Amino acid sequence: MDETLFTLRPNDVVAKVFEPMRSAQDTLTRLAKVLEPMGQLIQFAEVFEPIRRFQGELADVVVAFEAMKGFHSRLENLANSFEPMRPFQRQLEDVTDAFKNQLKQLAAAMEPAKAFQDQLQHLTKAFEPAKAAQERFIELSRAFVDGGDEDAPTRTDSA
């Protein structure tokens, strides 16, 4: 029989049992520090409300523009046969191109938010085991609780 187990204090024996988890605990402690700045990211998400409103307003512009497509086509035909209408037709094309380019730029500006969402989804999948592991450890800890232990862990929904 190993006498070193009997010469160690109870806390030291238990600490030896949990030694393989020390690295994991340290990593999880560092994770808690990362969560603080992540909470600040919510402020960035506030940008989407004005974008949503703008999208609704722009949708009305697009509906109005759809009605102008027929006019634009007729104006193009007229500009081909009646030179003085060509500058007006070009201006209308320039406005159309400007709208298209601005929309493409706005869509491109959304790319970091889309990439961030993709990363969050990946992180969510990667951290799915955390909740089940925490609940199981809490469940296992109850086996070591005396009937009246006030420090007995309880299930938390924050994980």
Average pLDDT over residues 77-82: 86
* Residue 72: Cβ-neighbour burial (10 angstroms; 0-12, 13-18, 19+): middle
pLDDT at residue 121 is higher than 60: yes
Average pLDDT over residues 65-76: 83
pLDDT at residue 148 is higher than 80: no
Q: 8 CB contacts (<8 Å, ≥6 apart)?
A: 16
pLDDT at residue 109 is higher than 80: yes
How far apart are the C-alpha atoms of 7 and 13, rounded to whole Å?
A: 9
How far apart are the C-alpha atoms of 92 and 87, rounded to whole Å?
A: 9
Q: Please tell me the predicted confidence (pLDDT) of residue 1.
A: 47
Q: Please tell me the predicted confidence (pLDDT) of residue 3.
A: 52
Residue 139 confidence class, pLDDT cut points 50, 70, 90: very high
pLDDT in tens, 83-98: 888 888 889 889 889 9
Q: Please tell me the predicted confidence (pLDDT) of residue 145.
A: 80
Query: Would you kindly state where each structural domain of the chain is located, as residue ranges?
Result: 1-41, 47-132
